[in-house]
Structure 1
Amino acid sequence: MPLSAFRPCLAFAMLFLTFAALARDYRYSDAHLHYVDFFQESAGMPALLAAMDANLIEHVMISGIPVAKKWHEDEPKRPRYYAGDDAAAYWYSATDVLVASALKRLPAEQRRRFHPFLCGFNPSDKNADAHIRRMLELDPGLWQGIGEVFTRHDDLTSLIEGSTPRANNEAMVRVYHLAAEHDLPVMLHANITSKREKNPLYLQEVEEPLRNHPHVRFIWAHAGTSMEIHRHQTKLEFLLPSLERLLDAYPNLYIDLSWSLLQPYLLDEQGKPDPAWVKLVSRHPERFMLGSDVVGRFDSLGKLMHGFDPFLDALPDAVARKVARDNFLAVLPRKVREQGLH
């Protein structure tokens, strides 16, 4: 066969190798994972570790769920989710005990991959900071953050027994002072608006702590959005300008790009990255992180984390790697970072 016959194959091979060299291979930190579900049940550590190893997830923020869903005696079937029926949910402090117990059974080399956040307290109770302090004293050095703290949270807000928590209430102010004292980041779930209002109705509840507690690193879960809001409003046109302003004004604000933001914000209906969001993340390369927000089951962990890959690919390479892995690790307490995170 003449040499000319091999030239198309050679050209194709060179093109393939070029694209292969340009392909990015990310390592991930999951900045938002719940070890248990709303019934305080979990698939367990072996399942979680297997999902992490299979999907290049090196580090995980691990927390419980601060409330438990009640199976009310008038309900004939056990609900599968907090929205499964009209029964209430209640604050459940033992969720942190479950997380701590699971971590303590791990060998040291695996345990270093987990970064537990303490969440089992009522954020409308001014005793909350005393409870958190007791938990820190019970397990010195274990807890590396506070959250996910549920404040404004769609229909769950009205289901939780007791008064509605706010991110700027007196109880949370005491928690923020404790967080600053112990160098702990705080992850807040605080919806930016309701299901109906087409304006940033609750934004001041987040902005006030950002302004008044500059020494606290705040991680805003889902950037104040939720799937329930999306079902009613599709897309919040004021979200991007609000984030631009807040990120410019408050260097202590970090954004958790968990799954409910993937569409319709980061990616359009065709799965293409939104240039405006690419620009925003590129302008603030150290302020965004990825989260799966799985609750107690881990089969979807890889799909959720790799779902961000098209958006990461649109970012400059160095920025993409920070968002995928490093930015979450950078907000952890200084003592943790000084121990080395590999």
Structure 2
Amino acid sequence: MAKLLRQMDEFAIDHIMLSGIPVAKKWDENEPKRPRYYAGDDANAYWYSATDVLIADAYRQLTPEQQERFHPFLSGFNPNDKNADAHVRRMLELDPGLWQGIGEIFTRHDDLTALIHGDAPRANNEALARVYRLAAEYDLPVMLHSNITSKRERNPLYLEELEESLEKHPKTRFIWAHAGTSMELHRHQEKLEFLLPTLTRLLETYPNLYIDLSWTVLEPYLLDAGGKPDAGWVKLVKRYPARFMLGSDVVGSFDKVGQTLRAFVPFLDALPEDVAMQVARDNFLSILPKKRQREIAD
């Protein structure tokens, strides 16, 4: 946390959304080396509830003044288990006021989906529907990782899973992690040409949808190969200035948080100043629970 705070101070990062990884990678009996990443070997991954315990412990190490800058999200549950909402409720009741959102929930997530024990999680299954209703009850935003397609299909193969969730849960605020993209998708397909028109339609149709512009969206979407802002994306963000937010997606090590976020500056500079500030900070704060928003304002 000390390293993260130094990065925040050095790079003028006012607020941080903090969450754990909801799965852990198994070190299988047949693997000679501890895996550092889910794709490191063929062993499975499993849902890991202790991730929230670690996040809560890290948050409690901060001073009250430092805690004002951090916004913990709860993620350690199995999205295929209809007991998930009961677990989330227990966690919220154990630490009243600590958790300010739910997620990042993993559903469609490249090869990781196939490596996780059990069925492939879907954004529109009954277990998550129960979590979404709980999120609306507690006024919590939900950050959802749901890839828009697979590595091979050049069409929005899994879009229906997200869209059904948006339609059936209009009182739940959804942050779509990385706008449905991932680095693995980019490795196989480079640029998804249908992404921009799809986002345009979704934002027009569902006022409860917000878009996380993390590093997998930066290139090749927000900036072209020469580092120039894409006119279509600039136009879309200006059309929906309250619906986009920056994310670092930095995992495990915080020494590059500032550098990762600074890479967005050319795109932010292409926006009007007030819109750039909304995207860089204010939009995220605006979807936190209303009680937390009042505390920030005070």
Which category describes the TM-score, using the shorter chain as reference length? over 0.9
- Provide the residue aligned with 2:2 in structure 1: 46
Q: Percentage identity across aligned positions?
A: 72
Tell me whether 1:233 sits opposite 2:189 in the alignment: yes
Tell me whether 1:181 sits opposite 2:137 in the alignment: yes
- Provide the residue aligned with 2:169 in structure 1: 213
Cα-to-partner distance string for 1:229-275 (whole Å, 9 max, x where unaligned): 00000000000000000000011000000000110000000000000
Tell me whether 1:304 sits opposite 2:260 in the alignment: yes
- Opposite residue 203 of structure 2, the aligned amino acid is L
Query: Structure 1 stretches (4+) deviating beyond 6 angstroms?
Result: none
- Note the 1:277-288 alignment, pairs <5 A: 277-288=233-244
Structure 2, unpaired ranges of 5+: none
RMSD: 0.8
Tell me whether 1:135 sits opposite 2:91 in the alignment: yes
- Provide the residue aligned with 1:6 in structure 2: none
Q: What is the Cα deviation at residue 340 of structure 1?
A: 2.1
1:338 is aligned, of 276, 294, 298, to 294
- Provide the residue aligned with 1:290 in structure 2: 246
Cα-to-partner distance string for 1:314-341 (whole Å, 9 max, x where unaligned): 0111101110111100010000001124
TM-score, L = length of structure 2: 0.99
- Provide the residue aligned with 1:91 in structure 2: 47
1:328 is aligned, of 266, 284, 290, to 284
Q: Distance in 1 between matches of 2:65 and 2:120?
A: 40
- Provide the residue aligned with 1:59 in structure 2: 15
Preserved contact between residue 68 and residue 296 of structure 2 (Cα < 8 Å): no
Cα-to-partner distance string for 1:66-112 (whole Å, 9 max, x where unaligned): 00011112111111111111111100001000000111121100011
Q: Distance in 1 between matches of 2:70 and 2:29?
A: 37
- Provide the residue aligned with 1:171 in structure 2: 127
TM-score, L = length of structure 1: 0.86
Give 3-state SS (helix, strand or coil) of 2:15's partner: strand
- Opposite residue 38 of structure 2, the aligned amino acid is Y
Q: What is the Cα deviation at residue 53 of structure 1?
A: 1.1
Give 3-state SS (helix, strand or coil) of 1:338's partner: helix
Count of residue pairs the alignment pairs up: 298
Q: Distance in 2 between matches of 1:327 and 1:341?
A: 14
- Provide the residue aligned with 1:104 in structure 2: 60
Cα-to-partner distance string for 1:157-214 (whole Å, 9 max, x where unaligned): 0111111110000000000110000000000000000000000000010001111111
- Opposite residue 216 of structure 1, the aligned amino acid is T
- Opposite residue 79 of structure 2, the aligned amino acid is P
1:161 is aligned, of 117, 137, 161, to 117
Structure 1, unpaired ranges of 5+: 1-44
Q: What is the Cα deviation at residue 152 of structure 1?
A: 0.2
- Provide the residue aligned with 1:120 in structure 2: 76
Q: What is the Cα deviation at residue 153 of structure 1?
A: 0.2
Higher relative contact order (CA 8 A, sep 6+): 1
- Provide the residue aligned with 1:70 in structure 2: 26
